[in-house]
Amino acid sequence: MGAAAGSPRPVSDMSAEDVVWFLGLVDRLGIEVWLDGGWGVDARLGEQTRRHRDLDVVVEQQDLRALREALAASGFVDSPTEDRTDWNFVLVDPEGRRIDVHVIVIDEHGNGIYGPAENGIFYPASALTGSGSVGGRPVRCLTPEYQVQSHTGYELDENDLSDVMALHERFGVPLSEEQRRASDRG
């Protein structure tokens, strides 16, 4: 049962089954996505290592309309967030499943430009070459190197630190000094 109109929607974990459902949806649409965030880490690790509050996905702007329409048909609506932009927003369904959408435009070098080009924020082409699996299903995800690198410049929470350490231990990705300090404190 969903929340009443105008009231906050519940939040539920995004299970591996939810991720596989989403991947089936984008497959039927002919859309390619990359998993980012916690599920992107776990996809690369090939196993679920922790609970996930949401599913972070990277999608090309050219595919955004089809994705939004398909998710709307499944009950997903925009969820207000303080940092919402046209290239970063959260969709939530009546059961509280959350999909955090990151929109990119692939440039002539294969980089995924994130937001207005003049901001200079992008996913390097090399970051978009990762692969993994969720529930035994192959999926594209961000590389371990990029996942570790992107976890810098802010205070890591317990989940961030767990993700970074798992990638470091499994793939030997070097940690930044701030990540090493956070690990020593944790």
Per domain, the residue ranges of the chain are: 16-143
Pairing of strands 137-141, 130-134: antiparallel
Share of the chain above pLDDT 90, in %: 87
pLDDT of res. 6: 46
pLDDT of res. 3: 41
Q: Evaluate if residue 84 carries a pLDDT over 60.
A: yes
pLDDT band at 96 (very low <50, low <70, confident <90, very high): very high
What architecture is domain 16-143?
Answer: 2-Layer Sandwich (3.30)
Higher pLDDT, 67 or 152: 67
Residue 37's nearest CA partner among 117, 120, 130 is 130
pLDDT of res. 5: 44
pLDDT of res. 9: 55
Q: Evaluate if residue 92 carries a pLDDT over 50.
A: yes
Q: Evaluate if residue 186 carries a pLDDT over 70.
A: no
Q: pTM value?
A: 0.91
Q: Evaluate if residue 7 carries a pLDDT over 60.
A: no
The contacts found for 170-176 with CB under 8 angstroms, 24 or more apart, are 170/45, 170/144, 171/44, 171/144, 171/145, 173/144, 173/145, 173/147, 173/148, 174/148, 175/148, 176/148, 176/149, 176/152
